[in-house]
């Protein structure tokens, strides 16, 4: 019932308009054709030395894409807002050093040119999923966009947000389930694992999962990451920090590099059992 309504409205994002999966080629990996893509990095870029060292570790672990925030939307005006352009420059150096593509969040149409200059993949964060002006602008680019689900957006609203980007001409949209707001307080959010196969049946777009924000607890990241892959996620976005207790944001949900290594070692046989590969 809801399904019919959704698909009617999503002329471009809907599976009917394109039966085969959209596959996005990102140099080091392909999103949407069976590979389990690993995106990892710190919540926020904090300083160059730390970032480059971490990037090197991620590269050695086999991570496909580096993430890192330069413009951070924060609930309070008094929290660390990210390093801005300096953070972008550091990210670009991490890219040079490792050869891995870089994804970073753009929060404002006015910073779009800047972010484009230093990164490979744009991220629209959860709070901006219905920032329609921003969606239209990234829709006019030919650059892959990770579109995070709003923390209280229905699946239908999320697909319609993707439709805004597609309708402007940019077809490289990567959906990212990152947890929804529910009554449960033990976890920071509730990663909605059901949304992963739901989106795969409703749409041809690739979908990844972010168990770091989805759970908010380091101890739950690995099992929920495995769950997301088993449910059909095309990839994972994971927060990693060399020293989570000192992180300027999201420390409690960040993995150590060694923990990411363990998780990736668990994911390889899992992917194989599912007929996929890391």
Total residue length of the chain = 278
The nearer residue to a copy of itself, 72 or 95, going by C-beta atoms, is 72
The nearer residue to a copy of itself, 196 or 247, going by C-beta atoms, is 196
**Interface residues toward a copy of itself, by CB under 8 A:** 2-3, 6, 9, 11, 73-78, 107-110, 127-128, 130-133, 151-152, 154-157, 160, 163-164, 167, 180-187, 190-198, 200-201, 214-215, 217, 219-220, 223-224, 226-232, 266, 269-270, 272-274
Q: How far is the CB of 96 from a copy of itself (least distance, A)?
A: 29
Using CB atoms within 10 A of its CB, is residue 21 exposed (0-12), middle (13-18) or buried (19+)?
middle
Q: What are the helix and strand counts (H, E) for the chain? A: 10, 10
The nearer residue to a copy of itself, 95 or 148, going by C-beta atoms, is 148
Q: How far is the CB of 29 from a copy of itself (least distance, A)?
A: 21
Residues 6 or more apart from 75 whose CB is under 8 A from it? Answer: none
Q: Please, what is the Cα angle at 181 between 179 and 183, to 5 degrees? A: 130
The nearer residue to a copy of itself, 245 or 273, going by C-beta atoms, is 273
Q: How far is the CB of 203 from a copy of itself (least distance, A)?
A: 12
Give the Cβ contact number of residue 141 at 10 Å: 16
Distance of alpha carbon 35 from alpha carbon 13, whole angstroms = 21
The nearer residue to a copy of itself, 4 or 20, going by C-beta atoms, is 4
Contact 159, 10 (CB under 8 A): yes
- Residue entry with tokens 């300083």: 47
Q: How far is the CB of 100 from a copy of itself (least distance, A)?
A: 26
The nearer residue to a copy of itself, 94 or 193, going by C-beta atoms, is 193
Q: How far is the CB of 194 from a copy of itself (least distance, A)?
A: 5
Q: How far is the CB of 75 from a copy of itself (least distance, A)?
A: 5
- Would you call 25 helix, strand, or coil by DSSP? strand
The nearer residue to a copy of itself, 188 or 241, going by C-beta atoms, is 188
User: DSSP for 65-122?
Assistant: EEE-BSS---SSTTS----THHHHHHHHHHHHHH---EEEE---GGGHHHHHHH-SEE
The nearer residue to a copy of itself, 72 or 241, going by C-beta atoms, is 72
Q: How far is the CB of 39 from a copy of itself (least distance, A)?
A: 19
Residue from 170, 173, 165 nearest 145 by CA = 173
- Residue entry with tokens 């699946």: 155
Residue from 122, 167, 112 nearest 147 by CA = 122
Residue from 141, 41, 146 nearest 97 by CA = 41
Q: How far is the CB of 205 from a copy of itself (least distance, A)?
A: 15
């Amino acid at each position: 019932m809801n399904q019919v309504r959704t698909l009617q409205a999503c002329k471009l994002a809907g599976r009917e308009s394109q039966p085969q999966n959209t596959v996005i080629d990102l140099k080091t990996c392909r999103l949407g054709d069976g590979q389990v893509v690993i995106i990892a990095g710190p919540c926020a870029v904090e300083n160059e030395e730390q970032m480059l060292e971490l990037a090197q570790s991620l590269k050695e672990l086999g991570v496909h894409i580096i993430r890192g925030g330069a413009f951070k939307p924060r609930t309070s005006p008094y929290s660390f807002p990210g390093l801005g352009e300096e953070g972008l420059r550091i990210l670009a150096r991490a890219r040079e050093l490792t050869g891995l593509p870089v994804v970073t969040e753009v929060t404002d149409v006015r910073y779009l040119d800047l972010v484009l200059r230093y990164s490979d993949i744009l991220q629209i964060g959860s709070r901006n999923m219905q920032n329609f002006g921003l969606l239209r602008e990234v829709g006019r680019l030919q650059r892959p966009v990770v579109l995070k689900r709003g923390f209280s957006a229905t699946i239908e609203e999320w697909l319609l947000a993707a439709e805004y980007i597609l309708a402007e001409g940019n077809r490289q949209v990567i959906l990212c389930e990152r947890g929804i707001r529910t009554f449960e307080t033990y976890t920071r959010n509730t990663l909605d694992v059901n949304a992963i196969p739901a989106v795969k049946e409703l749409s041809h777009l690739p979908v990844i999962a972010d168990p770091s924000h989805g759970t908010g607890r380091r101890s739950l990241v690995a099992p929920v990451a495995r769950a997301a892959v088993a449910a059909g996620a095309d990839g994972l976005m994971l927060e990693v920090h060399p020293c989570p207790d000192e992180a300027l944001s999201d420390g409690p949900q960040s993995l150590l590099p060694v923990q990411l290594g363990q998780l990736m070692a668990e994911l390889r046989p899992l992917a194989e059992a599912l007929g996929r590969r890391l």
